[in-house]
Amino acid sequence: MATEHQHEVLIVGGGGAGLMAALYASKGADTAVLTKLHPVRSHTGAAQGGVGAALGSEEQDRPEWHTYDTIKGSDFLGDQDAIQFMCEEAVATVFELEHMGLPFSRTPEGKIAQRYFGGHTNNDSGKPVRRAAYAADRTGHMILQTLYQQCVKHDVVFMDEFQVMDVLVGDEGVAGVVAVELATGELHVFHSKAVIFTTGGWGRVWEITSNAHSYTGDGVAMTLRRGLPAEDMEFFQFHPTGIYRMGILITEGVRGEGGVLLNNDGERFMERYAPTIKDLASRDVVSRAMYLEMRDGRGINGGRYLYLDVRPDTVNKYAEIDGRTRPDGSPYIVTGEEILAKLPDIIDFARTYMAVDPIIEPMPVQPTAHYAMGGIPTTLRGEVIRDEQNTIIPGFYAAGEVACVSVHGANRLGTNSLLDIIVFGRECGTRAAEYTKGADFLPLPSDAEAMVRKQLEDLRGGEGSEKAATLRKEMQEVMFDHVSVFRTKEGMSQSVEKIQELKERYLKIRVDDPGNVFNTDQLEAWELGCLLDVAEVTAVSALQRTESRGAHAREDYPKRDDQNWLKHTMAYQDESGVTLRYKPATITKWKPIERVY
Amino acid sequence: MEVELRIRRYNPEIDEKAHYESYSVEAEPNDQVLDLLNQVKWYQDGSLAYRRSCAHGVCGSDAVRINGVNRLACKVLVRDVGRKITIEPILGLPVEKDLVVDMEPFWEHYRSVMPYFVSEEQEPEGERLQSAEQRQRFDDTTKCILCAACTTSCPSFWADDEYVGPAAIVQAHRFIFDSRDTAADERLKILAEKDGVWRCRTIFNCTIACPREIKVTQAIGEVKTAIATGDNK
C-alpha cells in the first residue's frame, strides 16, 4: 500500500517555474513541491545569458518591440495574446526578482545591466537592442538560487527526490499524483485539489544536447499516457553554439558581447544569411546557416564544427566594421579582462572541457539540442487544456519548458525561457491557489497507484534481453540524424519506424538492480520510456507538417505555408500510435510576413 | 585507452559494510569521470548509485572523492587523473548507497545562516540601485552551487559535524556583503557562536576543493573580520 498525503496544491518540479509557482501558491493554499532532484540541482541553473525584459536600462526599449520580436522569432506561430501578456509582465517581473535580492550585474549608474541577444531589436532601426538582463553568465543560476532562498525564507514544503510517475487526471479535474520516493523505493499517493506541472524539457531525446541527464520529458509523457494532447512537439530548438561533441551550452551572450562565428575560410558567414543583425539572428536561422556551411565543406578542416571567436582582436575588428558603440556613444573596444569578467563561466567551460582559452583561441562549436517549444497545451493563465476547443481541465496547470502556452511558437528567442518560467510560474501559482478556494478534493480512484506499480513491475520483470542504455543510444542517434536542424520525409519516416521498434524492444528490458534504496537503474529505465514516447510524438508531428517554419526546416518543403499550416499541432498517443489534430494560432494584430533578419 | 576504476560500494539492503569494487572501462582522455561512472552503470552494473544531472559543473549533484580529493565527477577529465581512478563518497555525511550521501545535515547548516535576502527598506518601483563596485564586493560567493565539496573536505567539519561549515559561511557572506541587505548583524551573530566561523582553522582544503574556484577561506576570513570589527563594508 502506498503512503497517502494531502495538500491543496502540488507542484511537480523544483526549477524556476516550480519555485515561482510555489512562492505564490503557498501564499494562499497549503502547497507542497515534489522534485526528482533537490531544487538547486534543477536545469534552470544552467541558463546563462540573460532574462528578456524591455527595462531600457542601457538604451530606449519598449515592451511592444519585445512582443513583436517574439512573434517574429516564433515564425508567427506563437499565440499573440499570450506573447503580449508575457512581454508586458516582463518589466515588473524582473524588478520583482531584483527585489528578492537577485544579484544582477549593474550599469555604471547602478541599474540592472542588459546585453544584446539574438532576435531582440529596436523595431524602428532594425538594429539589435540590449534587452537581456543578466548576472554575469550565470543568470539562470542566480534566478534558481534566489527563488530557492525565498522559498526557504517562506517555509515552502519540499519533498526532495520524489519522482512523480503519474498524474490522476480526468476530464472533470485532477485528484493528485503518484510518486516514488527515491531514497526508499516506496510509493506515495498525493491527494490534492490542484496540480501544477513544471517538470522541464526533454533534450535527452537527442545525441548532442545541452540538457541535463534528468531532462527526460516526464511531464509530457505522463499527460500523454492519461490521454491528454501534446502541442507543437515538432518544434525543438537547436542552439547554434554547443561545445563540439559534448553539446555543452556556450551562451548566445558570447555573440552579444561581440563574438562571431567563422567558417574554415575565416569568413564571418552570418553576413550572408542575415545581413542586418548577422550573428545575432534567431537561433533557428543561425543553426541552419551553420549546417549549410558544413554541408558545403566549410566546416573547420571539413569537419562537423565551426569556430566561435570571442578573442578581443576579432571582437574589435567586427565591432568597428559594424560601427558598434557603447551606450555613451564611444567606440566598442574590449579587452581580454572585460571578456573574462562578463563571461567567466564560458571561459571556464572552454578551458575545462576543450582545453581552449577563448581569450587567445576560437572555440569549436556545433548546434546542440536545447529547448522544447512544444509541450502540454495551456491557456495564457497556465490552465491545461485537453482538446482543440481549448477546454480547460479544472485544477490542472503547467508552466515553463514543459508547457506550450504558446509563447515560443516555432522558435524561441534567447532570454525568453527565463522570462517564461517566472511569468507563467507566478501565474500558475496564483491561479491554483485561487482555484482551491472554491473547489473540493476530488475522490482518489481506488488503487490510485496501480498504473505506476504495473510500470515498475514490468521494468523489473522483463525477459532481460535488452538494455536501457543501448536503446537510449539508438534513439538519440536516429533523432539527431533525422529529426534535428534539417528534415526530410525519408529521414523522419525512418525515425518513426525506428522509435516504434525501440518501443517494442523496451518491453524486454529488465533492470539490474532489484533493490529499493536509490534504485536509479529503475529510474533511468522509466525515464527512457518517457523519452521514447516523446520522441515518437515529435517525429510523427514533424513528418506530418509539410512546410518549413522556425525550428522545423524541411528540405522537401523549404517554404513556410501559412495557407495550410498557420496552426498548432495537437498530438494524442495511445498503444496504436499517434493521432494528430490541429487548432489555429491566435493572431491579434500582427499579420504574418516573411521573416528576414 | 583502458582505465581502471575502483569504486567504494555500499548497499544497505545487502552489505554489512562498505567495500571496493574494480571496473575496467574504455575511455578517451577528454572523457569526464562522470562518463566513466555512466559506462559502469549502463553496461556493467546498473545497481551503482550516484547523483548527477547537468554534466557540466553547474548543478552540483556529483561531488565525490576522486583519488582522495573532493571534485565534481563531471568537471574532472580522464586526462587530469590518469588510468587508475579511485572514487568514493564525500566524507562526513552518512552514506545512503554507494556514492549517494544523506545531504540533510548539510542543508540544515545552510538554512541556519538566513541564506536569503532581507531588506527592511521600502521597495522602489524599479530596481534598487547598486553600484558595480558594491555588486563586485560579493560576486565571488554568488557562484556557489551548494555541491558540498568544501564542507566535506574540511577537517573541522569531520571532527565536529555541529560546525556550520564553509558552504554555509559562503552563503552568509553573499548576503552580509550585499549593500542592499539589512540583516548582516543577525547573520554575524549566528556565525559568532561556537559552531560558527571560529571553528575554521584556515586549512584551505575548502578553497582547493571548490569546483567554482571561490576563494572560500578568504570569504570566511572576511566574515571573521566583520565579526571582530563590526564592519561589513
Residue A129 Cα, gap to closest chain B Cα (Å):
20
Separation of alpha carbons A412 and A237, rounded Å = 7
Residue A301: which of A258, A268, A266, A340 has the closest Cα?
A266
* Residue A240 grid coordinates: 547554434
Mean pLDDT of A346-370: 96
Residue B232 has pLDDT above 90, yes or no: no
d(CA A299, CA A506): 37
Minimum Cα–Cα distance from B11: chain A residue: A517
Cβ–Cβ gap B13/A515 under 8 Å: yes
Cα separation of A34 and A52, whole Å?
28
Summarize the confidence of residues A165-191 as an average pLDDT: 97
Catalytic: A283? yes
> A304: which 3 cell numbers?
562537423
SS3 at position A85: helix
Scan residues 22-41 of B and list those with Cβ closer than 8 Å to A. 30, 41
Residue B36 has pLDDT above 90, yes or no: yes
Catalytic pick from A115, A138, A225, A283?
A283
Indicate which of A44, A94, A96, A145 best probes the interface with B, i.e. most B CBs within 10 Å of its own CB: A145
Cα dist from A48 to A52, A139, A140, A551, B164, whole Å: 12, 5, 6, 21, 30
**Where are the extended beta strands (E) located within A227-314?**
230-231, 236-243, 260-262, 306-309
Mean pLDDT, residues A536-542:
98
pLDDT given at position A4: 96
Q: What is the largest CA-CA distance in chain B?
A: 62
The pLDDT score that the predictor gives to residue A178 is: 98
Are the beta carbons of B132 and A112 separated by less than 8 Å?
no
pLDDT(A481) > 90: yes
The pLDDT of residue B204: 97
The rounded mean pLDDT for chain A is 97
Nearest to A45 among B59, B126, B128 (CB): B59
DSSP reduced 3-state for B79: helix
Q: Which residue of B has its CA nearest to A103?
A: B135
The confidence score (pLDDT) of residue A470 equals: 98
DSSP letter at B199 equals G
- What pLDDT was estimated at residue A490? 98
- Residue listed under C-alpha cell 532594425: A126
Residues 157-216 of chain A whose Cβ lies under 8 A from any Cβ of chain B: 183, 212-214
Q: Mean pLDDT, chain B, as a whole number? A: 97
Q: What pLDDT, in 10s, does the model give residues A411-453?
A: 999 999 999 999 999 999 999 999 999 999 999 999 999 999 9
**Three-class SS state of A578:** strand
Q: Do B30 and A353 touch (CB under 8 A)?
A: yes
Predicted pLDDT of residue B55: 97
Find the CB nearest A46 among B11, B54, B118.
Answer: B54
Please return the burial class of A461, using the count of CB atoms within 10 Å of its CB with bins 0-12, 13-18 and 19+. exposed
What's the DSSP call for residue A549? B
Is the pLDDT score of B231 beyond 90? no
Question: Which of A208, A213, A347, A471 to mutate to probe the B interface, most B CBs <10 Å?
Answer: A213
Do B142 and A518 lie within an 8 Å CB cutoff?
Answer: no
Smallest CA-to-CA distance from A414 within A98, A116, A62 is with: A116
CA distance A478 to A491: 9
**Radius of gyration, CA atoms only, chain B:** 20
Q: What is the mean pLDDT of residues B44-63?
A: 98
Cα A258 → chain centroid:
25
On whether ipTM exceeds 0.95, the answer is yes
Residues of chain A neighbouring B100 (CB-CB closer than 8 A): 518
179-198 of B, contacting A, C-beta below 8 A: 180-181
Look at residues A182, A212, A141, A142 and name the one whose alpha carbon lies nearest to residue A34. Answer: A182
How many angstroms separate the Cα of A360 from the Cα of each of A63, A229, A244, A335, A350?
38, 49, 18, 11, 11
User: Does B96 sit within 8 Å of A515, measured CB to CB?
Assistant: no
- Rounded Cα gap, residues B194 and A218, in angstroms: 46
Which residues are bridge partners to A549 per DSSP?
A552
| B120 φ/ψ angles, rounded to the nearest 5 degrees | -85, -10
pLDDT of residue A1: 74
Confidence (pLDDT) at A511 = 96
**Contact yes or no for A112/A57 (Cβ under 8 A):** yes
Q: Which single residue is written with the C-alpha cell 559494510?
A: B17
